Amino acid sequence: MKAAVVDLDTGDLASERIRIPTPRPATPEAMAAVAAELVSRHGWTDALGVGFPGIVRHGVVHSAANLDASWVGIDADRVFTDACGVDVAMVNDADAAGLAEMRWGAGHDLAGVIVVLTFGTGIGSGLFVDGILVPNTELGHLELDGRDAESHAAASVRAREGIGWDLWAPRVERYLRHVEMLFSPDLFIVGGGASKAADQWLPMISIDTPIVPAAMANSAGIAGAALVARHAHL
């Protein structure tokens, strides 16, 4: 779990990014306690945005594929607000990263249908139509070839199986072609951990839709969450 203060004029991090290992098990109470510790270390007293790896509707969690199942049905806004002592706005983490890319990064001022994908532990997605977010798409959980797409094409799978970029890239291309068929996007923006080595695999991807690496790297999720917090508490 990571946190930083964000300059909302530029999207830049305005403080050190502090990181604390995600607790195991990753229950609401345990993660809220870590969030409170991050808030305390920053001396933060304003509204807080939190990116969460799952479906979040009006602050309530509806899925948690890579976390503890006890999250489902939890009013996460309330749990984190109570723990941190500040107003909290929860948002899907890939949606947060996408919002940052559309505001300050590779999608700035672009219209049309844009899909932001994050390749990390799983595959996160943010879908935008003329700059407007369609929330909670969770396209990493599309069924592809009889299985969850991210179980074959996430960056963590490449690391776990010990395969090179040349073997992983075709998996990503297969996945991108599937998303391309479903949404006919004008642009793919790819972020997450794998985007730091985009030059190692993007040249091997051949699809009809233009594809570019994310511009904001690891700050995208934090910056986008901060943006959500500001809009939620104006």
pLDDT in tens, 94-124: 999 999 999 999 999 999 999 999 999 999 9
- Cα angle value 89/95/100 (rounded, 5°): 90
Token pair recorded at residue 203: 């040249």
What stretches of 75-115 show up as alpha helix (H) in DSSP?
76-84, 93-104
Per the DSSP assignment, residues forming a β-bridge with 143 are 148
Question: Considering only CA atoms, which of 202, 203, 184, 29 is closest in space to residue 119?
Answer: 202
With a CB cutoff of 8 Å and minimum separation 6, the contacts of 193 are: 119, 120, 155, 218
Each residue's pLDDT tens digit, 120-148: 999 999 999 999 999 999 999 999 999 99
Element (H or E) spanning 212, and its range?
A: strand 211-213
Q: What is the topology classification, in CATH, of domain 106-215?
A: Nucleotidyltransferase; domain 5 (3.30.420)
Domain boundaries for CATH 3.30.420.40 within the chain: 2-93+220-232, 106-215
Band (67; pLDDT cuts 50, 70, 90): confident
Q: Would you say 144 and 174 are in contact if contact means Cβ atoms under 8 Å apart?
A: yes
Band (234; pLDDT cuts 50, 70, 90): low
Q: What is the topology classification, in CATH, of domain 2-93+220-232?
A: Nucleotidyltransferase; domain 5 (3.30.420)
